[in-house]
Structures are given as structure tokens and as C-alpha cells.
Amino acid sequence: MDAKRHFARATWTVALSATLLAGSQASAVPMLFSGLSSDGHPVSAIADFILNDATDTVSVTLNNTTTTTLDAGELFTGLDFTISGLTPTLTSDTGIQRTVDGAGAFVDTGSPQNLSWSVASLGGGVHQINFNPNAKDAIIGPPTAGSYATANGSIKGNAGHNPFAALEAKFELSVPGLGPNSIVELRTFRFGTTLDPATGTITPLPEPAALALAGIGLVAMGARRRRR
């Protein structure tokens, strides 16, 4: 690696926009979205980007941190973003799959499974990472008191939506042309099976909070540069 170090930075601009400056094998501060889904329910999520310009790759972890899941409108299903006009290609998407039965009890797979997300171009350099159009593998938030008993039939025992990605999903993107000054801009967090845009704010996640989440498996990095 070149001796000159490039450090990641994170800032936020307007309510639904945040920028991340890449660096060689650099990690930006995780970004926290907090707001309301299209049906007016409180939702929150974390987007964690690791940019490696030496290999033209971007690693992404998306977490659904919504505290109460009542219906499918609170499932984290998509994120719109740009990468300095470059075109990302999805090379892998994995996560623990969670199946919720009719009573709200759930069973997880013992290891990460291949999911069925994809990356689509929205035009104008904007891309969207989104879940299966068959409505499976949406990222579900944590249970309440150990189950999803308070959720409705769009979650409990719903064969069309099960299995879900349990709490988080991880993605690897190939981004030819990625450089030390490349910028990732987060645009829109989407929830629900029709990829509805949520309204709210995006802010950097403070390092103590990021480390606390890492301890329970929701996010795996703090606001610092990491080497591979």
C-alpha cells in the first residue's frame, strides 16, 4: 500500500443525504437513519460502508434497528446511493435468515445464507440496493420480549414474506474506478415490501454507540480506519 494514508470522513447534508469520502481500505463512520415509514411508524436503520480503492470494492452492512416491528411496513428493504458516478455490481449478499411462525416465535439459520437482493440503476448515477421482488429476505428488526407476537399477519406466518434477513445483511460490491477521493452519498432509506421511501434524518453514529452495537452483532465497526 502507498505510504500516504487516506482517511475516511463522514458528513451529512440534507435530511435524506449523507456523504462518505473513501480512502485506501478505509471505513467511514456508520450512518444512522431515524424517522417514519410511509405508514407513519417509527423506523431506524444503520448503513455501514467500507471502501477499498486498492481492490475496487465496497463492503456494505445494513442493519434494521427499528425497536418494534408491527407490520411489513417496518422491514428495511432498500437504500439509494451514489458512488462518484461509478457503477457498482453486486457480487455477494448474505445474512442469517429468520422464519417467523403464526404465533410470532422465530427460528434462525445457524449460519449466514445467500440472500436474494440486487442492485438497480435509477438513472443519474443513483443506484439502489434492494430486496427480492418476491418479498423475501427483507431485513427485519429485533423482536419484542423475545418474539414478534405483537406483529400482524404481514409478519407472522406469512409465507410470502418469510424468511427474513435477521437484523442485518452484508453485501459486497465491485466498483471499477474506485479511488481515494471517491464519495459515497446516501440518498434514501426504504422500508416496506414496495420499497417506500421513509422520511427522517441521517446522522453519524457516535463511536460508543457503534461499539455497543458491535457487541450484540448489529454493527461491526467504529468511527476509525481499518485495515484488512
What pLDDT sits at residue 20? 59
- pLDDT at residue 182 is higher than 60: yes
Secondary structure, 3-state, 79-147: EEEEECCCCCEEEEEEECEEEECCCCCEEECCCCEECCCEEEEEECCEEEEECCCCCCCCEECCCECCE
154-166 pLDDT, tens digit per residue, is 999 999 999 999 9
Q: 76-83 and 57-64 as β-strands: parallel, antiparallel, unpaired?
A: unpaired
What pLDDT sits at residue 150? 96
Task: Calculate mean pLDDT across residues 20-48.
Answer: 82
What pLDDT sits at residue 134? 84
* Rounded distance between C-alpha atoms, residue 165 and residue 186, angstroms: 21
82-95 pLDDT, tens digit per residue, is 999 999 999 999 99
- pLDDT at residue 64 is higher than 60: yes
Distances, alpha carbon 170 to alpha carbons 60, 73, 110, 146, 149, in Å: 6, 21, 16, 24, 27
116-146 pLDDT, tens digit per residue, is 999 999 999 999 999 988 889 999 999 999 9
Position 25 confidence tier, pLDDT thresholds 50, 70, 90:
low
- pLDDT at residue 36 is higher than 60: yes
Position 19 confidence tier, pLDDT thresholds 50, 70, 90:
low
Which of 9-13, 24-28, 86-90 is modeled with the greatest confidence? 86-90
Task: Calculate mean pLDDT across residues 19-29.
Answer: 58
- 215: Cβ contacts below 8 Å, ≥ 6 apart: none
- pLDDT at residue 105 is higher than 60: yes
Q: What is the mean pLDDT of the chain?
A: 84
* Rounded distance between C-alpha atoms, residue 70 and residue 97, angstroms: 19
* Rounded distance between C-alpha atoms, residue 203 and residue 28, angstroms: 12
Q: Which residue has the higher pLDDT, 7 or 39?
A: 39
* Rounded distance between C-alpha atoms, residue 83 and residue 87, angstroms: 7
Which of 67-71, 170-174, 201-205 is modeled with the greatest confidence? 170-174
